Amino acid sequence: MFVYLSKKIAIPHNLALQVVAWNSAQGWIACGGESGLLKVLKLESGNEGGKAGGAQGNLSMNQTLEGHQGNIMVITWNDNFRKLTTSDQNGLIIVWMLHRGIWFEEMINNRNRSVVRDMKWSSDCQKICIIYEDGAVIVGTVDGQRLWGKEVKTQLAFVEWSPDGKNILFCTLNGEVHVYDTEGIYSHRVPIYCLDNGTEGTVAIAGIDWYDGVQGPDSQIPTLCVGFENGRVQIMRSDSDDKPVLIDTQLRCTGLKWDPHGSTVAVAGMQMQQGGNTGDREVGVVQFYAPQGQHLRTLRVPGSNLRSISWEGTGLRLALAVDSHIYFANIRPDYLWGYFSHTLVYAVLKKERSEHVVVFWDTQSDEKYTKYIKNVTHIRSSDEYCVLVTKADDSSGQYIIIICNDIGSPVDSKYLHIEPLHVAMTNTHVVVASDDVVYVWLYRSSVTKQSNDLAAAASMLGVGNKRRTEMMFHIDESFAPGTGMHDKEGFVPPVAPAQDPIACVTATEQCFLVSRESGLVQRYSLPHLSLETRFAIRCRPQVISANCDSSRMSVIDINGMLTLYDIEVRPSSRGMLDADARKMQGQEPACGQQLDFERKDVWNMQWASDNPDLFAIMEKTRMYIIRGLQPEEPVLSNAYICAFRDLQIQSVLIDEVIQSPEEPRKEVLLDFETKTLRDTRDILTKVSNLKDAFKFVDDNPHPRLWRLLAEAALDQLDFGVAEKAFVRFENYQGIQLVKRLRLLDDRVKQKAEVAAYFQRFDEAESLYREIDRKDLAIDLRVRLGDWFRVIQLAHGGNEDLLQQAWSAIGDYYADRGKWSNAAQYYTKAKNNGALVDTYYFLEEYDALEQLIQQLPEGSPLLKDIGDKFSLVGLCEQSVKAYLRHGDVKLAVDTCVMLNQWDQAVNLAQQQNFQAIEGLLAKYAQHLLDKNKKIEAVQLYRKANRHTEAAKLLAQLAKEMPGGPQKNPDRIKKLYLLAALEVEKYKKQTLDVQMTAATMGTMTTAQTVQSLITQDQSVSSDKALESPWRGGGGAPGGSHDRTGIAG
């Protein structure tokens, strides 16, 4: 996190302030001081105007509250009921309420016997506890009723409620903390561990604060903070925690407060500073700590007495009461976020779920992909991927590194045993560091196909096996390139803690830099890992970053000071010779030499990804773009910088995104342009002579500027300048365009082609039509694929072109699944091939059948239609299509496949297709082998083989288990069916013979002979000779044959 002072408000008459309190819900600021001074202020929202987003708001409320005479000692807000409670040194307590925008006295209480030392509302704002210095305690309700009072036998200094409202903590003047329940009954003393032995009870307490936010299941986060005047602080998990976090702030402590999220505690006080000739003097300091005790930041405050601090409700600002001023400090938290390929990824802790919601927000399409992941600690991004670092959800103590794409899908992951405190990512590597161990993972080889140079580097490393994609080494290790001592599997972590721990890391495509707390920076080469050089810088770095060609490094130290260093590795700079010594000897600047550039209060910076001399910084509430070492005019902004390329900065108001993570608005994305880009636009719009613009861009060369110039030159048809500009930014297509334009004989044609290049197609079309070249306008629309416009332009003209257009429009609708619209246009275009598919998808089989007659015989489309009909089981239509196509075998096969044996046999007889008899017999035998006689009967019946069916039925009747005694009805039915098959056979035979005789194709003698032959074939089987005997003679059956048949 970063902190900087952003605003100062002076109090009239130089009255010294004692206390300041910021209402976290509505944003009112109450401040009180000498001689009864009491004011309520409110700042205008700093987010108005979008781009500012800082603490630059003016006062929207400034009211003086009159009623106190003595010095104001305590101010407390009731956020839920919008009430303000104040007390002075005389013991007068006033409760104020807001009515029509003005604060009025609602209740007054005066106990002249002692001074009020502290007042606190419970976390639900229903009860207030007031303590007096003489030990008197009063607990009351929000509407003024007194619940109980008590006299404690000690002098009191502070009071605090437990978050659940069940206990009250009283701090005594001699530095003890006693716990009472809500009825005022003593429970126990809070153990104090942060003071030296023998000093307990002699050091006064400076402040107590118990964070009352919603705690998730993880109650191991310390929330109760107690600070003493000598600067010792302890942070506890509960009021009886025997292992609290202990801190020595080195301050004369005057107050402490948790931020509204419980993630930071601010400890305010005065620190003695040696002033040389002027002697020692005290300066105001605010120290920021994490709940586990890690020191986050130090803020120095001008003035001689820092008495009180209070957080804004968002946790992004801090109010400080210093002498007769209120200072405002802006907090820039270390959010978990990254930006890559138009996607903003960010993680927000959901306390009710005790896990992070990780949102991947595509800023172009506005689509969001949400994941829930526990214990996310870092997010970093490259051009195409991001890396999430999480703690494993088990007791192994491992950490997981997950590579994700832009929709949040995990692409690859690795487990680590070291704690990842610092993470950096490039397009090929992830670098993770703990206090003293560095881990490097070549993730790109597993994510995507390697480019040739990467593959070569990998082969040099021996990345063919899995081990060499992951490397680990100790920060003090020195190793030769290519040695195997830093494999992940073979690495043994050190036992002793690091003497000089790692402070931060950064990485580029060519190298990565590791900076240590002492200021020592070590540069390692990538992808073949080797220590290139090391050098020292004169500060304790917090964030380092390198430019795109790894020649410069920026450092933001723990005080927010930005400095630049030359880190280019030259043959002469591989030693550890001091930079100043090199300068004196007249040598080239050494690797690590500081450049003449410094900026204060910098909290964010980004190098341009395509220009090594260009970077942007956030300094307080302003953004500066710096070219070389020269800053441009600043722009008001409070946004974090996402990306810097093509002279354009993309930034995001991440504060607003984090406040409503599920519904980010596009208004939080801000784009800024560099001065050269703005100036080039101005020159091109205001100056008609392009030579001046060419000179300006030549002095400030950049591909984006050359592109702007080329486009402006094309607009003015100045092909000489356009060609030069295209050459300068190596645009081959642009050069070819200029050549083609020069060949055109007409300026209007040239203008139309330029308009088409700029995608102003309507303008290009109108230019073509002005010179009566409708054909060129149509050609333009054809190239664009704008077929609707082609039909309008070509109406009544070329029939082939119209058919092509109709067909293309049909394709347009078909691609979108609008098949009925597609069918209309395919019909107009006579595109039968597409119509077949369209009717099939629409299930319009009648229209598909009509298409069979319209197609010429032998057309390949007929086979396609036949296939489609057979797929949906329409045998007759399928056969019709195959026959028109001329493929009899396929037609017969389809009938067989669809089990239409009668049609198959008839077709085979008509087309003289012999193979069907063998196929029928083979299939019937197959069924009989499997003892599926009923199925075989059905097959014979469908194929009109009545005699075979009758024989099988009679056989079934004979072989019926149990005989006529057990299944008389079933046997009778089988015989009956056999008899009916014989009758069908006879009728069929007679019909055929008689028809032939009638038609004269057969003589009488032949007819008689044929009938005799058929009769003999039937009489060869007894069951067929007298078929009704079995049906009529079955036990229990009727002997009347006609009755059975009926």
pLDDT single digits (tens) 52-65? 444 456 888 899 99
| pTM, two decimal places | 0.75
Residue 577 has pLDDT above 50, yes or no: no
Taking residues 799-815, report their average pLDDT.
88
DSSP 53: -
Per-residue b or e along 972-1003, where b marks 16 or more CB atoms closer than 10 Å to that residue's CB = bbbbbbbbbbbebbbeebeeebeeebeeeebe
Residue 110 has pLDDT above 90, yes or no: no
Taking residues 902-910, report their average pLDDT.
70
Contacts of residue 155, defined as CB under 8 A and 6 or more positions apart, other chains included, come to 133, 134, 135, 172, 173, 174
Q: What is the pLDDT of residue 220?
A: 77
Instruction: State the Cα–Cα distance between residues 232 and 249, nearest whole angstrom.
Output: 6
Minimal CA–CA distance to 225: which of 244, 242, 240, 243?
244
Structure tokens at 531: 């220590």
Instruction: State the Cα–Cα distance between residues 109 and 144, nearest whole angstrom.
Output: 10
Q: Is residue 594 within 8 Å of 537, Cβ to Cβ?
A: yes
Instruction: State the Cα–Cα distance between residues 637 and 1012, nearest whole angstrom.
Output: 111
Q: What is the pLDDT of residue 909?
A: 66
Instruction: State the Cα–Cα distance between residues 41 and 59, nearest whole angstrom.
Output: 7
Instruction: State the Cα–Cα distance between residues 828 and 495, nearest whole angstrom.
Output: 82
Is beta strand 669-673 parallel, antiparallel or unpaired with respect to 648-652?
antiparallel
Residues constituting the chain: 1046
Residue 479 pLDDT grade (very low, low, confident, very high; cuts 50, 70, 90): low
Residue 758 pLDDT grade (very low, low, confident, very high; cuts 50, 70, 90): confident
pLDDT: which is higher, 198 or 342: 342
Taking residues 956-961, report their average pLDDT.
71
Residue 28 pLDDT grade (very low, low, confident, very high; cuts 50, 70, 90): very high
Residue 276 pLDDT grade (very low, low, confident, very high; cuts 50, 70, 90): low
Structure tokens at 403: 């590579």
Instruction: State the Cα–Cα distance between residues 253 and 805, nearest whole angstrom.
Output: 82
Helix (H, G, I), strand (E, B) or coil at 988: helix
Helix (H, G, I), strand (E, B) or coil at 734: helix
Helix (H, G, I), strand (E, B) or coil at 888: helix
Element (H, E) at 1032: helix 1027-1033
Contacts of residue 26, defined as CB under 8 A and 6 or more positions apart, other chains included, come to 79, 82
Instruction: State the Cα–Cα distance between residues 513 and 526, nearest whole angstrom.
Output: 11
Instruction: State the Cα–Cα distance between residues 591 and 577, nearest whole angstrom.
Output: 10
Instruction: State the Cα–Cα distance between residues 434 and 815, nearest whole angstrom.
Output: 53
Model confidence pLDDT, tens digit, residues 343-394 = 999 999 887 778 899 999 999 999 999 999 999 999 999 999 999 999 988 7
Helix (H, G, I), strand (E, B) or coil at 114: coil
Walk across the sheet containing 232-236 and list its strands.
Answer: 205-210, 224-228, 232-236, 245-248
Minimal CA–CA distance to 26: which of 79, 96, 84?
79
Furthest CA-CA distance within the chain: 150
Instruction: State the Cα–Cα distance between residues 479 and 637, nearest whole angstrom.
Output: 46
Q: What is the pLDDT of residue 617?
A: 95
Minimal CA–CA distance to 146: which of 166, 164, 128, 167?
128
Instruction: State the Cα–Cα distance between residues 107 and 84, nearest whole angstrom.
Output: 11
Name all contacts of 348-352 with Cβ < 8 Å and 24+ positions apart: 348/658, 348/661, 351/213, 351/214, 351/215, 351/216, 352/214, 352/216
Instruction: State the Cα–Cα distance between residues 594 and 566, nearest whole angstrom.
Output: 6
Q: What is the pLDDT of residue 589?
A: 61
Helix (H, G, I), strand (E, B) or coil at 432: strand
Element (H, E) at 350: strand 343-350
- Kindly report the CA angle at 73 between 67 and 76, in degrees rounded to 5? 85
- CA torsion 720-722-727-728 (nearest 10°) is 110
Q: Is residue 502 within 8 Å of 515, Cβ to Cβ?
A: yes
